Amino acid sequence: MIVRFHHYSDRVRVLEAARRAKELRFEDSRIFFFQDFSSGTQRKRVCTWNIRGIHHPVKRKKILTYLKKEEVDIALLQETHLKDTEHEKLKREWVGQVFFSSFTSNSRGVCILINKRLPFKLESCIKDNAGRYVVIKGHLFGENISILNLYAPPGHPPALITKAFSELAELDCAQSFAGGDLNCILDPCIDKLPAERINPTKRARETADVCEGLGYLDVWRAFNPNNKEFTFFSGVHKSSSRIDYLFVPKAMLYSVSSCDIGSITISDHAPVYLKFSHGEAQQRSSKWRFNNHLLYDPNFIAFFRTEFQLFFSCNNTPDVSPSILWETCKAYSRGLIISYEKSTKRKCQEKQRKLELQLAECERAYNQNPTDTNLKTTLTTRAALNSLLTQKAEQTIRFARQK
């Protein structure tokens, strides 16, 4: 017998009651409960859409109704133009969870909407304080999943895209995807109408380099290598372009069944849809990998040489066979490397925390007393924090390329 519950909470209560009962019988026959994990029940639909403001209650209703009609499970919305309290108002009808980054009531703002029927449990949420991206990590059907929603406003530096993708990469989930409005054309020859034979912009090159380095693919282009469809129409320039994207890791592509571009209706951007089967993506290898860039760290080399020589001098004795000594050396070396990396990461996190507190104090002092000295201190601290964050992002991308 197959039972389908209208509400996920009812399904949870039934399964919990069955576990407490331990054994259920009907007419001397034992009853077993199994969850349905068939591909049909696990296939989810994701949508990314620049809605160009959802402040008006009528437009808000139109957007939510449209997404419900399209049976969207996870929606990535850009340019919401909502503050924090207004974003919470989106938690209605089919929307069970909302994760957002706000800016002002008339610019930017991004949010991720999760359907009520998805048993998503949040583990962490990373927000940009300028309303440009939000990254979440959680559990869905017992597996880790991470999502990035990104809006890259015109005129903002291309490093924004690198930073957002590096935040996603640090979460290290096999099931992950990124979407949003990047305001750049990856290939002007086929992603713009009328087509232009010009070189891609700096932002487009940055996006392509980051995706190549982290192993992400433009899903719609992967499914449509030569097709021409567009997500944005400019009435001023009378031109169409594809600037809204959905990206997934290469290992996850085979679990995607379709990727389509919708019609330009409520907004001047078209929604982009992706349908994937959760739980069927290829899992990343759990094998430990050596970070090659440690070989360029003089502190690591000195630490490893000292500790390893001490270990070897104590254990290289006649009663220890060479094969046992070799295997022990490998295990001990791995332990040394892991302990050094964890210690370095812990120091880096502590340094970042101190710089963030110091910057907040400097900004508070400058706001109260805007002198040149306070401004110089604020800019110096901000540059130091930015340099540290850039270094972390570059290290994440380098290590991801190594994988």
pLDDT digits (tens, 9 = 90+) for 249-304: 998 888 899 999 988 888 889 999 999 886 443 444 456 778 888 888 899 999 99
Question: Rounded to two decimals, what is the model's pTM?
Answer: 0.65
**8 A C-beta contact, residue 84 and residue 101:** no
**Could you give the domains of the chain?**
43-277 (3.60.10.10), 292-402 (no CATH)
> pLDDT category, 218, cuts 50, 70, 90?
very high
**8 A C-beta contact, residue 104 and residue 83:** yes
- Transcribe 70-118 into DSSP letters: TT-SEEEEE-----HHHHHTT-STTEEEEEEE--BTTB--EEEEEETTS
Q: Over 90: is that where the pLDDT of 81 sits?
A: yes
At residue 282, the pLDDT reads 41
Q: Over 90: is that where the pLDDT of 145 sits?
A: yes
Report percent pLDDT > 70 for the chain. Answer: 88
At residue 17, the pLDDT reads 78
At residue 368, the pLDDT reads 75
**8 A C-beta contact, residue 246 and residue 177:** yes
At residue 285, the pLDDT reads 46
End-to-end Cα, the chain, rounded Å: 45
Q: Is 102 exposed, middle or buried (0-12, 13-18, 19+ CB in 10 A)?
A: buried
Rounded Cα–Cα distance for residues 271 and 268 (Å):
10
> pLDDT category, 93, cuts 50, 70, 90?
confident
At residue 87, the pLDDT reads 93
Q: For 33-68, how does the pLDDT look when each residue is reduced to its tens digit (9 = 90+)? A: 665 555 445 678 999 999 999 988 888 888 998 899
Closest CA to 49 of 79, 83, 86: 79
User: Tokens 């295997």 correspond to what residue?
Assistant: 327
Highest-confidence segment of 64-73, 129-138, 283-292, 351-360 = 129-138
Closest CA to 215 of 149, 168, 153: 168
| Of residues 391 and 244, more confidently modeled | 244
